[in-house]
Structure 1
């Protein structure tokens, strides 16, 4: 059997990188470890006036540090210290410290200062704080009056009031709880809710404090009729699906904001204004007016990018977001790269219940030529998807698939009727550079001969990503991919796109695209029934847009658990975050005998 030639000089690049990147890895690694100590602004401040605080810890210390920052003018324009101003600042320190500690219950703190000369142009101001005994809460009276007194959600917030008898008085907790109680009342429709009593009576000499907080809810307001104006292109029934509320429900400002976000995310309107006329309310029912300006419904979008897996790639997307002026959508997309060529079209019929629910008819033709296989397929799909919660979607589908594959010198033609269910959930604090959040998707699909297919099998596919910031500069990223197959026939009868492979930019870095998996007798990778891939990555932020990362990947495709062998890759990477997506460069070392020392993984794209 003839082996495939190496593509486009990649082997030469690999050898060159092997010689050059050892120094780069060493440099990045040293910076990764030493960067927390390289802060020239702190070093410069220590050479002029250092303020050394003793006797405090935690948030009280942080508040004192904030209020004792060196005032403007301490350092003259010629770089010398302004000693008279320093001595004036020193006399003011006890009062500043007392002011900074009162919110934490310390009303009679004692502060001693000591200014000493350290070097010819450097001084140290020692601040010794004795906070004294804190003021304790001796009584708490928190209550709700008015029509909303029996609201369960409001009563729950009142019961969670964070200060009780015997606790140290903390003004921050008091103010936060006070705001939460009023915000909850307003969120439940009690727009006139206000406190008739809100006071803390403090006796510093006796170290006692009494808290009284009484909220009068006033009458409850409700949503009334909704008016859409400014657009005649979309039917009223279609626009109603973007509403986060219904007439008759309790009025809520967050629901207005959610409605505006829903309309904005539809990409159908260039200007959106959602307003509620509280002054025009009758019988406490508030009318809502939504003014919309249509955006062009027909669009053409061009995209380009590069991935080590696929080489240069190009895409062309045409969209019509208002077919027949019914709010239906049609799109068709062409994708071309070194290893993949395809065209996919969708006709989307929106649901009247939710803006994230729809029925779609899909047609897809594609060809893929990678080191492991060559395949061509045609597919028609009916897809029904529904929003089942914030950031969560579920759906059912029915696919009709014809595929012609060449794997390991064997030609496979498959006709499949493939029903399935799917679920996806996603929540990130930032869509461009998340530091907290998760994403998950899963799919269960299968077929049998009685459905007209030439095979019988069931597959489960899932993948997930979790990100969390562990310090000011460091973020941990984890991801996993799992695939399982229960198959009546041999793996040799499975079409290429339904087999599992590992390796590549988004799989096990350090190995080429889809180069890992079971092999045939001639040593060619032919894919497996099952898949497991896991990744752990630690990223250090450098400013707003740059980051460096260290990562570990492991995974493989396999037919049986007893035959599973995990291939591993480790390395360093650079991340540059832009408004159109990240640019990622990874230098990965495969932990496998006979593999190259370093493999480059690069990916970026615009409009793709």
Structure 2
């Protein structure tokens, strides 16, 4: 017992001593922790830890002014430049960044056809400290670039199949793939040509063609490159059955009529792409994918069409969108006042893409409604049935009119950009003017339109142009029995000055004439007028042309307008548009060439770009301001570009 008690007493003393030592050590560690943080370079070490970061600048040496594009690409690929606002903590960290850049820059040089190019780097102390300017950092990272000789393409060879010998590409192949002998041996054109070569085969009946291997061989002595493409063309094929997936409320027969090919015709990828574009532009689908279906046995030839190879089905994968929509619009101009409109549209009325759109609109000068119906594939695949109806009550300084009108006709597509429309019209008019009093008129006409549209957008075009030629003979089947012909030519053109379409030059012109009747015999609503937001900005609505004794417009038998805009995009959503426009209306049946006397307006517009088109605010002044007729300025607000 005494031995055990002694051992217990000794253990107690040792435990007490250990606790004292542990406590002392803890106090010592706590007191030493700030010093340890500074020594370790931690971020909590205050100014000293921050000072250990290596600020630096980056420069390139050895590149000529003609190598500006090369330097720009290197800067875009540089890790050191990308992380310059996050300096490394040591010189070794800066060297690691530079070493990675050297690898990247080597790829840039080879991609540009500079296969002998070299890049090395050096790090020097800057003459002046940073002083808040990153370009004057504490270190100078200098990349020494020697581009070397530019390699050119000496030969382009192709082969079909795994064992076929390589042969020089013919002129047709070179033109199709965009390569030529003697051009710089840059990487991107060689890669792009691979896709073009594959596409060429898919245009010629091989839906599954691909480049099995692309090989480039450089000769350092002659500074040339040989490019070789080994193709796997796959089987020759013709179009088989169409397989439609995802159609719910749209008739499959209607979808099948969009096919640009005939079953049994040789396969051509361009027809597949055209079909996909047509289906996408119908407005019925959220997404459209058209692609050939790989056959189980590619060697099984359709015996009914030996020359055309195998029959390849085409899959059409669709996701339908909502077919009904409701929308609202608003506009304002100082000469007209505010205007509002609302529309309802059904794009699949009878399950075959029939579109019905009804619109109600109201402004101080015009109230009414209209309905427009369009049925595609009417009797022909390239033809549509059109039907329009309209009732409008108009009150202007020129005339008061209540009009009901109707049109029914056909629209035929002549090509990708040309369409023609033809059909009879009927206008029932009750009008009141200062010169003719009250009249009731019944006009029968035959409307004809020839249109060309190559623009890239309906609301905000940046390329292409539009042309509209209209001609309508009218006969009044009422008391006057007058006859006249109204015609007009209008066009617009859009030119992108830069690749990103941030600067677009847009111009337009309009010329109209009415033949066969005097002005008094022509209903006021069928005469020509000019001035206002859709015409010559800076002048009031319909204020150009002949005026009566009360300075009210009376309209004319001919019109001429021109306009020019420079559409500049300041940001992705904001744009400025300076513009100038001119025009006039004439009593003669043709504009007098020797006395056009155009009235000019100019101004500046603000654009706010949205997904559905730009919101437009224009302020314009009349350059040829007429006393007691024209205001000092006009303001216009609406959706979409002016033209």
TM-score, normalization: structure 2?
0.74
Q: Hey, what does 2:515 align to over in structure 1?
A: 487
- The offset of 1:552, in angstroms, is 1.7
8 A Cα contact 2:539 2:622, kept in partner: yes
- The offset of 1:351, in angstroms, is 2.4
Question: Quick check: 408-417 or 267-276, which moved more?
Answer: 267-276
**Residue 148 of structure 2 corresponds to residue 140 of structure 1:** no
Q: How far apart in 1 are the matches of 2:206 and 2:504?
A: 42
Q: Hey, what does 2:307 align to over in structure 1?
A: none
Q: Hey, what does 2:633 align to over in structure 1?
A: 598
**Residue 361 of structure 2 corresponds to residue 341 of structure 1:** no
8 A Cα contact 1:241 1:352, kept in partner: no
Question: Quick check: 235-244 or 455-464, which moved more?
Answer: 235-244
The structure-2 alpha-carbon separation of the partners of 1:563 and 1:370, relative to structure 1 and needing over 3 Å to count, comes to: farther
Q: How far apart in 1 are the matches of 2:216 and 2:246?
A: 51
Q: Hey, what does 2:112 align to over in structure 1?
A: 104
The alignment's C-alpha RMSD in Å is 3.7
Alignment of 1:252-267 (within 5 A): 252=268, 255-256=271-272, 258-267=274-283
Q: Hey, what does 1:517 align to over in structure 2?
A: 545
8 A Cα contact 1:272 1:292, kept in partner: yes
Alignment of 1:502-541 (within 5 A): 502-520=530-548, 522-541=550-569
Q: Hey, what does 2:126 align to over in structure 1?
A: 117
Structure 1 unaligned segments of length 5 or more: list them. Answer: 1-46, 147-153
Q: How far apart in 2 are the matches of 1:213 and 1:230?
A: 38
The structure-2 alpha-carbon separation of the partners of 1:296 and 1:599, relative to structure 1 and needing over 3 Å to count, comes to: closer
- The offset of 1:241, in angstroms, is 2.6
What are the Cα deviations for residues 212-237 of structure 1, in whole angstroms up to 9, with x where unaligned?
33434232222212244666765554
The structure-2 alpha-carbon separation of the partners of 1:106 and 1:269, relative to structure 1 and needing over 3 Å to count, comes to: closer
What are the Cα deviations for residues 307-333 of structure 1, in whole angstroms up to 9, with x where unaligned?
316533333444555556676554443
Out of 43, 46, 61, which is 2:71 matched to? Answer: 61
Q: How far apart in 2 are the matches of 1:269 and 1:137?
A: 46
Q: Hey, what does 1:389 align to over in structure 2?
A: 415
Out of 571, 578, 582, which is 2:610 matched to? Answer: 578
Q: How far apart in 2 are the matches of 1:392 and 1:494?
A: 31
Three-state SS of the structure 1 residue aligned to 2:196 is helix
Question: Quick check: 193-202 or 581-590, which moved more?
Answer: 193-202
Q: Hey, what does 1:12 align to over in structure 2?
A: none
- The offset of 1:462, in angstroms, is 1.9
The structure-2 alpha-carbon separation of the partners of 1:159 and 1:353, relative to structure 1 and needing over 3 Å to count, comes to: farther
What are the Cα deviations for residues 6-31 of structure 1, in whole angstroms up to 9, with x where unaligned?
xxxxxxxxxxxxxxxxxxxxxxxxxx
What are the Cα deviations for residues 51-85 of structure 1, in whole angstroms up to 9, with x where unaligned?
345324254333333233535544347xx996554
Q: How many residue pairs align between the two structures?
A: 549
Q: How far apart in 2 are the matches of 1:186 and 1:271?
A: 23
The structure-2 alpha-carbon separation of the partners of 1:346 and 1:92, relative to structure 1 and needing over 3 Å to count, comes to: closer
8 A Cα contact 1:508 1:553, kept in partner: yes
Out of 331, 356, 365, which is 1:306 matched to? Answer: 331
Q: How far apart in 2 are the matches of 1:165 and 1:276?
A: 34
Three-state SS of the structure 2 residue aligned to 1:489 is coil
The structure-2 alpha-carbon separation of the partners of 1:116 and 1:526, relative to structure 1 and needing over 3 Å to count, comes to: farther
**Residue 576 of structure 2 corresponds to residue 567 of structure 1:** no
- The offset of 1:533, in angstroms, is 2.0
8 A Cα contact 2:367 2:393, kept in partner: yes
Alignment of 1:396-475 (within 5 A): 396-411=422-437, 413-430=440-457, 433-447=460-474, 454-470=482-498, 472=500, 474-475=502-503
Q: How far apart in 1 are the matches of 2:571 and 2:614?
A: 14
- The offset of 1:573, in angstroms, is 1.8
- The offset of 1:182, in angstroms, is 0.9
Q: How far apart in 1 are the matches of 2:505 and 2:431?
A: 35
8 A Cα contact 2:544 2:585, kept in partner: yes
- The offset of 1:395, in angstroms, is 1.4
Q: Hey, what does 2:528 align to over in structure 1?
A: 500
What are the Cα deviations for residues 453-493 of structure 1, in whole angstroms up to 9, with x where unaligned?
51223412323242424365742242323132151222232
**Residue 621 of structure 2 corresponds to residue 589 of structure 1:** yes
Q: How far apart in 2 are the matches of 1:196 and 1:536?
A: 52
- The offset of 1:180, in angstroms, is 0.6
Alignment of 1:179-194 (within 5 A): 179-194=195-210
Q: Tell me which structure has the larger Cα radius of gyration.
A: 2
Structure 2 unaligned segments of length 5 or more: list them. Answer: 1-54, 131-135, 163-169, 302-309
- The offset of 1:275, in angstroms, is 5.9
Q: Hey, what does 1:249 align to over in structure 2?
A: 265
Out of 550, 555, 560, which is 2:578 matched to? Answer: 550
8 A Cα contact 1:310 1:340, kept in partner: no
TM-score, normalization: structure 1?
0.78
What are the Cα deviations for residues 117-150 of structure 1, in whole angstroms up to 9, with x where unaligned?
264212455545442322233333346679xxxx
The structure-2 alpha-carbon separation of the partners of 1:533 and 1:310, relative to structure 1 and needing over 3 Å to count, comes to: same
Three-state SS of the structure 1 residue aligned to 2:126 is strand
8 A Cα contact 1:441 1:464, kept in partner: no
Identify the structure with bigger relative contact order (alpha carbons < 8 Å, sequence gap 6+): 1
Q: How far apart in 1 are the matches of 2:348 and 2:150?
A: 66
Three-state SS of the structure 2 residue aligned to 1:70 is helix
The structure-2 alpha-carbon separation of the partners of 1:277 and 1:93, relative to structure 1 and needing over 3 Å to count, comes to: closer
Alignment of 1:313-328 (within 5 A): 313-319=339-345, 321=347, 328=354
Question: Quick check: 349-358 or 500-509, which moved more?
Answer: 349-358
8 A Cα contact 2:463 2:493, kept in partner: no
- The offset of 1:516, in angstroms, is 1.0
Q: How far apart in 1 are the matches of 2:316 and 2:353?
A: 17
- The offset of 1:190, in angstroms, is 0.7
Q: Hey, what does 2:80 align to over in structure 1?
A: 70
8 A Cα contact 2:176 2:200, kept in partner: no
